[in-house]
Amino acid sequence: MGARSSRVSTSKWNLDQLAKASGLSRAEIDRFFSDYVNASGNDGIMDMDEFIELYSNLPIARGQTKGETKEQAIRIFRAFDRDHSGTLSFDEFLAAIVVLNSDTSQDDR
């Protein structure tokens, strides 16, 4: 289901470039990476169920019903699973976080 071996290792990321591209600070990226690792379990790659669980704990999900949260998380997961592997690499996850934290309306997202 996708080429996991072609993904960039987290140790090879340039955090300064990632911070510049994402608009997040290095500390924020470190925190999101920690959240990602904790949520993704033993394999270090986040599947849809793991993303749904993590998404449901994000501030953006507050005020949503459990059903709305799951539905929204599934849409986000599918939109950011660029290689259609059924998993999110950290860079795919971070791209989703950047969009979720932007000032765009929920409809535009």
3-class DSSP assignment, residue 4: helix
Residue with tokens 């394999």: 43
For residue 93, the one-letter residue type is F
CB 3 within 8 A of CB 83: yes
Would you write out the chain's pLDDT as a tens digit for each of its 109 residues?
A: 444 444 444 455 677 887 888 788 888 888 888 999 999 987 888 999 999 999 998 888 888 899 999 999 999 999 999 999 999 998 899 889 888 876 544 544 4
DSSP H/E element including 55:
helix 48-56
